[in-house]
Amino acid sequence: MDTLYLRATIAYDGTDFLGFQWQTTGRTVQGVLETALAQVTQATPRVAAAGRTDTGVHAQGQVIGFHVPWQHPLADLQRALNAVLPADVAVLTLGPAEPGWHPRFSAVRRTYRYTVLNRPIRSPLDRRYAHLVAAPLDPARLQAAAALLVGEHDFASFGQPTQGENTMPETTGRTVRVIFSAAWRRADDRFTFDVIGNAFLRGMVRRMVGCTLQVGLGCWSVERLAALLAARERSLSAPPAPACGLCLMQVDYE
């Protein structure tokens, strides 16, 4: 039976996962995907992903790649996988991958969204997908803080490179990344932070959110955030925002 190289877009609720990457103990997205593939194909494929999302982080547009023996229509494979996958994971699209393509190293842009609920009383229905901030946020200060992050910078103050990331062709240094856009937007009592970059350090988006929220709350000045960026010292950063509000929205390729 021929082995196919396939590419899929998946979505998952990260609340009950210990992140994407397989671990020896604990439930992971990679683990349940590989279990489902084994059940459907009777093979033991390994799954690679565009981003190794952390514990509790969600995805709407995660991209994966894998080799698998399959001689039926790919639509049948997609249906079979969704039939055996748990309810918090879904295969949205499935198709052939080009030779040499890699879900992580071939990516040129990644888009993340962080959601904040800004109200004094918690919303039980939003608790899995939004971070509650009870004190009022200043939209203008939030956006001024976000604007500082755009461009090519050394983001050592905001995160760490994951294993093997220093070999990524789109980076010029282990902690240098390019942010194409970063913006806070408000709709009633909900704030969203959309950030697009060529790649992100481990924990980088959540620390960016944590620090810009400090500015939006009036606890930090914009100048303090600028100094933090220049300092390249993670110990000076605000704590990372909780994982529940973060979602990998989209991954783009050439």
Structural domain spans, the chain: 3-96, 107-253
**Residue 126 annotated to the active site:** no
Q: Which two tokens stand for residue 82?
A: 């969704």
Q: Which two tokens stand for residue 93?
A: 């699209």
Per-residue pLDDT, 67: 97
The average confidence (pLDDT) of the chain is 94
- Would you say the pTM of this structure is higher than 0.85? yes
Q: 107-253: what CATH class?
A: alpha beta
Do 130 and 190 touch, CB atoms closer than 8 A? yes
Residue 87: phi and psi, rounded to 5, are: -65, -20
Q: Is the per-residue pLDDT at 150 higher than 60?
A: yes
Hey, what CATH topology would domain 3-96 get? Alpha-Beta Plaits (3.30.70)
Q: Is the per-residue pLDDT at 169 higher than 60?
A: no
DSSP letter at 134 equals: -
Query: Active site residue: 54, 88, 126, 189, which one?
Result: 54
- Long-range contacts made by residues 176-179, C-beta under 8 angstroms, separation at least 24? 176/152, 177/152, 177/153, 177/201, 177/204, 178/151, 178/152, 179/149, 179/150, 179/151, 179/152, 179/153
Identical fold at 3-96 and 107-253? yes
Helices (H), 14-161: 29-41, 74-84, 139-148
Each residue's pLDDT tens digit, 20-49: 999 988 999 999 999 999 999 999 999 999
